[in-house]
Amino acid sequence: MEPGGKAFENSVLLTNIQRFSLHDGPGIRTTVFLKGCSLRCPWCSNPENLSGVPQAYTKDGLDGVYGEYMAQDALAEVCLRDKGFYGEKNGSWDIKNAGEISSLPGGVTFSGGECLLQMDRLVPVCETLHRNGVHIAAETCLFVQPSALGLAIKYIDFFYADVKILDETRCREEEKGDLKLYLSNLGMLLDSGRPVAIRIPVIGGYTDGAGDRRAARDLMEKYKRKILKIELVKGHNLGEEKYRSLGMPVPRYMDVDDRQMENYREELSGLHIPVEICRI
């Protein structure tokens, strides 16, 4: 049976469900890593989540498969197991400033890969979670069809949206992405009024140049009233083993030191959006 065929209609392709996740949104969360991505960032640390089909791998002499089709109701059931640890918040989740993030409850975060590629299949999961009062976040690169984003805006309560290479040609060549689609999606998301935090991976040779930083700054300037906060994220090589297990070459890129990260933060400070530096 081909993926996408009938048997897979009510299921979601994922590689991992991480409980007690503390870095993927407010509170204590369960993070679901969905398999399949629309981009190919050269620094990606999740090679197992790029291809949209299950993949065989070999690690320490043992064979395995990345990716599992999980039925929607089964996924919702796992996500609800830690409901007792998500906590509650009375009142609206549509917060307007960064200071309120910590008042939001924990919940479920869809990550990836690009989780919105499977947004239509996530809808029933989201409905079950919302019926149970669970807060939902998503981490997205926004290189997706506007219809998928539209659905997401309807069902997702909090977004982490990436800002990566902002030069049209380099975006196409290095990330295999369509910048126009991205920019229009970013506008659509921010105009929707949903809470959005921006994540900027700062990667030596790709997104850390003066031009990259200026472009990011200008983009942030345009939407500054609609952005809760910006996170500057340093690259890391935690994905190395997974690249090897898939027989893929391990990506190399230059390190960005703490001072450069601080400078970047400085440059963004005039926007009056809170900026955090995140190290993994």
Which residues form the interface with ligand SF4 (CB under 6 A)?
37, 39-41, 44, 46, 49-50, 112-114, 141
The helix/strand/coil state of 160 is: strand
CB of 52 to ligand SF4, least distance (A): 11
Burial group, residue 91, by CB count within 10 angstroms (0-12, 13-18, 19+) = exposed
| Cβ at position 82, least distance to another protein in Å | 5
DSSP sequence for 63-112: EEEE-EEEEHHHHHHHHHTTHHHH----S-S---SGGGGGGS--EEEEES
**Contact positions toward another protein, by CB under 8 A?**
19-20, 22, 27-28, 81-82, 84-85, 87, 102, 106
* Residue 19 interface partner, choices ligand SF4, another protein, none, CB cut-off 5-8 Å depending on type: another protein
Q: Which does residue 37 bind out of ligand SF4, another protein, none, counting CB within 5 to 8 angstroms by kind? A: ligand SF4
Neighbours of 172 (CB within 10 A): 13
Closest approach of another protein to the CB of residue 33, in Å: 15
Closest CB 79 distance from another protein, rounded Å: 12
Minimum CB distance to ligand SF4 smaller for 95 or for 137: 137
Give 89 or 199: the residue with its C-beta nearer to ligand SF4. Answer: 199
Sequence-distant contacts of 55-61: CB under 8 A, at least 24 apart: 55/246, 57/242, 57/245, 57/246, 58/245, 58/247, 59/241, 59/244, 59/245
Instruction: Name the residue nearer to another protein (CB basis): 9 or 63.
Output: 63
